Amino acid sequence: MCGTDLTKRLGDPTGQVTKRTGINLGDPLDLFHGQAREDAAKAAADAKATEAARQARISGNVRDINSAFAGRQPEYDALGAALRERLNGQLALQRGQATRQSKFALAKSGLTGGSAAVDAGRTLAREGQEGVLAAERTARGGVADLMAKDEAARTNLISLAQSGNDIGNAAAQTSALLKANAEGAKSADLTNGLGEVFGATAKTYRAQQDAAARRKGLSEASTYAKAFSRG
């Protein structure tokens, strides 16, 4: 049977091209070309579906990551409050000790009620105000440090997700990183402090103590020398 008869039997009276496939049945080789085109079209459709699924997975991971970090503010607030409470507690302890030392030194030197006491009070008040500001700066710094670490973690996770790498469960990965960062912030909270806030008051106290010790030494030396001079 010739190619023309075959096409007529298949419904193509022209004997050239079928309307359904576009294959020239008069050319036996075109049968294989048509199959190749169908295979290529199917491969293209499969690739498109695969890429669409990949993009959907990326979008979902990025959305989960951003959502987890978006709910972090209450933890920042809690960290700031905890830092302020601890640092202000340190400040209160230092202020109490500095106040007692200053009063003791003034009394021992016989300077209570005089200009020296007024100056000491002003120094104590100034250092206390500076301590309050230092506590606030330190608390804010602790929160800012945690926020910076969180942002670095978020950026890294999103970069991995957008690269198409399989990062597993994005929500679980994000939760683990957030927990690690929070634990690190708590550890820093335990080690960071204000340092010596009332340094000038302490310096004055030590100077007065040294002066009292010198006076005592001179007095004892004078008494010792008089004892020998009487002999």
Q: How many domains does the chain have?
A: 2
Residues 27, 106, single domain; the answer is no
Classified as helix, coil or strand, 4 is helix
- Does the residue 13 lie in any domain? yes
- Residue 221: per-residue pLDDT: 47
The helix (H) or strand (E) run that includes residue 23 is: none
For the chain (length 231 residues), average pLDDT per consecutive 10? 47 48 52 69 81 80 84 90 90 90 78 78 90 91 92 88 71 82 76 74 67 57 50 49
Retrieve residue 159's tokens: 């970069």
pLDDT of residue 216: 58
Residue 36: domain span: 1-70
Cα–Cα distance between 208 and 89 in angstroms, integer?
A: 27
- Say whether both 94 and 114 belong to one domain: yes
Residues 108 and 142 in one domain: yes
**Does residue 217 lie within any of the structural domains?**
no
- Reported in sequence order, the residue ranges of the chain that DSSP labels E, i.e. its strands, are none
Cα–Cα distance, 214 to 204 (Å, whole number): 15
Instruction: Determine the pLDDT at residue 219.
Output: 52
Question: Could you tell me if 10 and 90 lie in one domain?
Answer: no
| Cα gap 181→139, rounded to integer Å | 16
